[in-house]
Amino acid sequence: MVTTHDACPACGGAFELLYPDFKTGLDQQVSVQRCSGCGLAVRQPGEAFDFTNLDRVHYMDDWKALDLSGLTFKYERLLEAARDLTPWIVKDGPWGRALLDAGCGAGYFLAHARAHGWTVQGVDPWADLADWSRKYLKLEVETARIEDSALPENTFEAVSALDVISFVKDPVEFLRACRKRLKPGGLLMLTTTNFNAGARIREGSGWPKLSANVRKWFFSPDSLAAAARKAGFGASRWRLAGGPDGDEELFFFAQSPFKASISWSDIAEEEPSDNMLAPLDRSTVNEKVLTAEQKHWREQGFLILRDFIPHELIDTYCAVRQRIDAPGGWDDETPYMEVREIRDLCLYKPLMDQLEALIGEPMVMNLNLTGWKTTQRDWHQDDYLNPDDVRGRYLACWFALDAITPDSGPFQFVPGSHKWPHIKKSKILNFVPEEVRETRAWPIHSERVLTPFFEAQIAERGLEKVDFTANKGDVLVWHARLLHRGTVAKNPNALRKAIITHYTSLSAMAPYGAVERWDTGGLYFVESRKRQPDPSRLVETG
């Protein structure tokens, strides 16, 4: 029997035997263990194949099998992730940007990126292959592992590592070495075999990737995200591709944060006085008079209303929404101004009564997100996106317009996180590049700093991450300071039919303009640039 591996390098969890001793294609006796915490799997004996002194012919032994079309796919995924996680990299295109490919092999990906304008550099311990790439592709390639590389730190806008991390000695040390070479805010892209692939689950120890006898580590999205967090990366994304189920190759993207470590004092204010807060957020509340919903809101920061919205309201709205030929829906955040079906749905009177009971005053609709696919926004709170004086007198609702499954990238939240200190927009902006502070992109840039901080807080406090899976008519209501995000869809083509609507209390909305009352009795903010309000519907805002 093969001995058990030490603690998981990604999360510190214990390894448990998954597949007992079996023979590989090379007739070697091996076993596979998996971490009970993050799911990272390791093959024992635990030495990956060493390519260092291998002849290049073993890489170039079948030119007919060489397919360079995959380089275009990988390059497009690099740019896609950069637009999402690190927009500054592609703001003016890749021209002149620097890319490092760790474990670059023959250098084909580097040559492809160079042809698209990047300045490129490779690092690979396979000596004969590195020499070939220097000689024939005229690439700069250092013959070394990136962990031992002499390349300078904080140099590259992007680091790629394509099918490399399965072979390294320590994946966290490998990721740290990649992060050190990135500029603050830079992008990591790596690919590896997905251990959660359907084929592996069906075939078990007979899965060809296990019996090939060359890899040491096998990652799932969760285990790779855990390793990246431990290595100091911030916001991350992933997607799957290839294989019989479209899930055999794992693409993982992570951002090197602009600041590796922050504290609450860097981003939050001292606890405001009770009279500045909504009644249920105050330090002293007579809980004897609270409803069950109000108690749950006060303790957990969210409310789930099952089968709450009449289906005819949903169907009427969906008939209008389906005419918008775009996954993101309307291209502005106040479509309710023109679409009465949104007002009928999102200002449904029983809902508005419930929201008023949670915040203590009438609530005003002021924003809609109408996309039918996951936003993939990483951990954030809504309140710090508002002016500092709102202080939680604000909430949001997630309306399920159809069944919401894990495949579509459900909304995820952390119960109880609304009790964390009051984060202030004015403080967070100190960590955002000056050139984007006045643009709509600043929240994305803030995630570079906040996501690793929030992940650490979740771990330290032992809090749970909850996925909101739902059926048609369900509504999730969440507190302005509840930590939440949009998860990545397991099936990129799956729709997540929903409408997300944000509401601000009437008193907090007063400084920003006029408010109208809809036929249901609910209130909505009127943007003067859209149209002039109907004087008969105006609500007195003080």
- Which of helix, strand or coil describes residue 128? helix
CA distances from 437 to 257, 431, 433, 473 (A): 17, 9, 7, 38
Residue 498: which of 345, 302, 300, 343 has the closest Cα? 345
List Cβ<8 Å contacts ≥24 apart for 202-210.
204/19, 205/19, 205/22, 205/32, 210/19, 210/24, 210/32, 210/43
HSE (side-chain half, CA atoms, 13 Å) at 280: 29
| Furthest-apart CA atoms within the chain: distance in Å | 84
Options 2.160.20.10, 2.60.120.620, 3.40.50.720, 3.30.930.10; CATH for 289-537 is: 2.60.120.620
What DSSP state is assigned to residue 211? Answer: H
Ramachandran angles phi, psi of 434, nearest 5°: -55, -35
Name beta bridge partners: 182.
Answer: 156
CB atoms within 10 A of CB 180: 19
> Which among 203-207, 244-248, 273-277, 477-481 has the top mean pLDDT?
477-481
Tell me, yes or no, if the two domains 49-194+218-255 and 289-537 fold the same way. Answer: no
Residue 302: which of 388, 365, 381 has the closest Cα? 381
In the prediction, which pLDDT does 488 show? 64
**pTM of this structure:** 0.62
Mean pLDDT, the chain, as a whole number? 87
Distance CA 373, CA 329 (A): 9
More confident residue, 75 or 25: 75
**Tokens (6 digits) for 448:** 């570079």
Q: Is the sign of the CA dihedral 357, 362, 367, 372 positive or negative?
A: positive
Residues 126-138 pLDDT 10s: 999 999 999 999 9
Confidence of residue 494 (pLDDT cuts 50, 70, 90): confident
In the prediction, which pLDDT does 533 show? 39
Question: Do you find a cis peptide bond into 45, omega within 30 degrees of 0?
Answer: yes
* pLDDT at residue 106 is higher than 70: yes
**Domain regions of the chain by residue span:** 49-194+218-255, 289-537
The CATH number given to 49-194+218-255 is 3.40.50.150
